[in-house]
Amino acid sequence: MLAHTLFRFFAALSVAVITSASPSVLKLRQSIAPPRNWIDLGRAPSTHVIPLRIALPQHRFLELEQHLVEISDPFHERYGDHLSKEEVEALIAPHATSVDAVHEWLTGHGIQQESCDRSSAAIGSLCMYPLHRRKICLARWNRILTFEFRLWKHTQDGDVLIRTTEYSLPAHLDDHVELIQPTTAFHRAKGQRTSLHFSPTPAAALSPSSDAMITVPGSGVTVNATCNATITVSCLKQLYNADRYIPRATTKNTIGITGYLEQFANFEDLQKFYADQVPNAVNTSFDVALTNGGCYPPPPFLFEMIITGLWNFYEGGLNSQNISQAGEEADLDVQFGFGISSPTPGRYFSTGGRPQFTPDANTPTDTNEPYSNWLDFILAQKNIPQTISTSYGDDEQTVPKDLARRVCNGFAALGARGTSLLFSSGDGGVGDGNADPASQTCFTNDGKNQTKFLPGFPASCPYVTAVGGTVHIPEVAVNFSGGGFSNYFPRPDWQHRAVTKYLKSLPKGTYAGLFNHNGRAIPDVSAQAVNFRIFFRGHPAHVSGTSASSPSFAAFVALLNDARIAEGKSSLGFLNPLIYKLEGEGFNDITTGNAPGCGTPGFNATTGWDPVTGWGTPNFEKLKEIVLDC
């Protein structure tokens, strides 16, 4: 602590010196309490290099938001009239005066423009990534921002981050800098997954083969009885009334899956999955897009299949991520997302880096949170998938509010360009994402340690569609389906009617003080989430979680986009205004079940929208008729 005190003293002294030569004084820009479950390990190595993102204000974002509302409203004359890449960039580009002010400030500290990478104007920010040829170490950032980067360790899983709890900026930059991260961001993306277990049963024995069928009340569809034990592509197509649909716009429509934390979807696993569940897709694959240093092992197709062993040996000597390595999250997302929507082309986004730091590594690296990096990349592309699913998230409170809003704005920009974004709602009910209710803490992260329900992010962003989970046939809410109300984002207008109705149905005083009655509510929709049969590292396995729900629902959205595009219509884009205007039409209403957490039963599923399953699960044929009429 003495070292920390001395540092603060000399930092204050340096502020005084800088101030005397600067046009304005330094101003504390952000200060947070040390987050719960993080302990201070001491000062971070001064020679360590960390990339910082300096985001500039998007002064015309409200205009973009208005465009998004109009083109996403099925009753508006502009419905489906999505914006171009150039139109979006023009709306959220920073002012030139802000760019100049920040460059002048950094130049004054010896950081020249060529030392930094400026991101595309697509996200309207200035991203300061130290280039390899001109590395900027922590010691310099400590002096510039008058804080101290320190090592923080998570007491539960041992992850270590380099972060600070406060930073300052010259007061004259108040109107020119929106945020600088990663500084106070302690969140870590994690796959929304509850369980993975291998089955010793032979593959053929687990495939749907029973002659017994279940008729689903309400929808009238029939489903193979084995689907109550094992979920397959065939099960979901039967259950959600899409087993007769054949895609027609496969040259114009694409579905995307995002991957983080060195998760790779294994090509060999995918072929075994296709042979097991989607025979017509055998020997087909998907494109891989790499960003932020992401990498990917090559597929063993054609002649490469003959020399797989040699390739693995060669690749293993150069890159630890060889063909034999697979991630269960990535395998799940790709196999069901691409399997259901086949033969719609698929694209997997491999975003490099993970938000943790190992101080004893020979060449330690600390990275930004993943979503901003991915948004930098995807918004800079001319052609992007019409549907994208993400099965990663974290507790909303672990993400600084300004960063969460900034990332959310990026999702809005994607929606304006005609992309539907779907995110898993989480696997902790109303709790902290821990699938075991007994292990949930449910305390606020602001130093007050108050008991609160903990919504997840990015699911809580109003510009994405959050997907909860169901189980069994007929369906009920699964007990881990993430749901609740955002503490960062207010409830949007398109959601007000449905959510208000639900809240009025709750007994007065229910969970008083535990959630924000005025917050954006999640989830919006849901899908099956338990006992999905995948292939992982060459063997059949079962996996559960809203990680399964999101890519599955996204695949049906991709098929809806296929139907529209085949008829010469635009893609659906931002889904939520349409979903809520339908008021349940085209969905299977889930009225039974609840998702406990934080020592409570949590919210309950009920008629209409609810914060466990949203509007329910899709009835594809009904939704297809609706979207073709829009």
Secondary structure string (H, E, C) spanning 320-381: CCCCCCCCHHHHHHHHHHHHHHCCCCEEEEEECCCCCCCCCCCCCCCCCCHHHHHHHHHHCC
Which residue(s) pair with 534 in the sheet? 541
What is the arithmetic mean of pLDDT over 271-299?
81
Q: Catalytic site residues? A: 329, 333, 547
CB atoms within 10 A of CB 576: 23
pLDDT in tens, 337-396: 999 999 999 999 987 554 444 443 333 444 446 788 788 889 999 999 999 999 988 889
List the domain boundaries for the chain: 2-58+93-186, 191-357+366-629
Highest mean pLDDT among 110-119, 347-356, 600-609: 600-609
pLDDT in tens, 505-535: 999 999 999 999 999 999 999 999 999 999 9
What is the arithmetic mean of pLDDT over 261-281?
90
pLDDT value for 130: 39
What is the arithmetic mean of pLDDT over 466-479?
97
pLDDT at 304 over 50: no
Confidence of residue 78 (pLDDT cuts 50, 70, 90): very high
Lowest mean pLDDT among 140-154, 213-227, 445-459: 140-154
Homologous superfamily assigned to 191-357+366-629: Peptidase S8/S53 domain (3.40.50.200)
pLDDT in tens, 410-456: 999 999 999 999 999 999 999 865 555 555 678 887 778 889 999 99
Cα–Cα distance, 240 to 236 (Å, whole number): 6
Binding region for Ca(2+): 589-590, 608, 610
> Who contacts 19 (Cβ-Cβ below 8 Å, separation ≥6)?
25, 26
Cβ pair 300, 268 in contact under 8 A: yes
> How far are the Cα atoms of 253, 576, 597 from residue 375, in angstroms, in the given order?
20, 20, 32
pLDDT value for 184: 82
Cα–Cα distance, 507 to 594 (Å, whole number): 16
Q: Which is higher by pLDDT, 541 or 434? A: 541
pLDDT at 6 over 80: no
pLDDT value for 346: 97
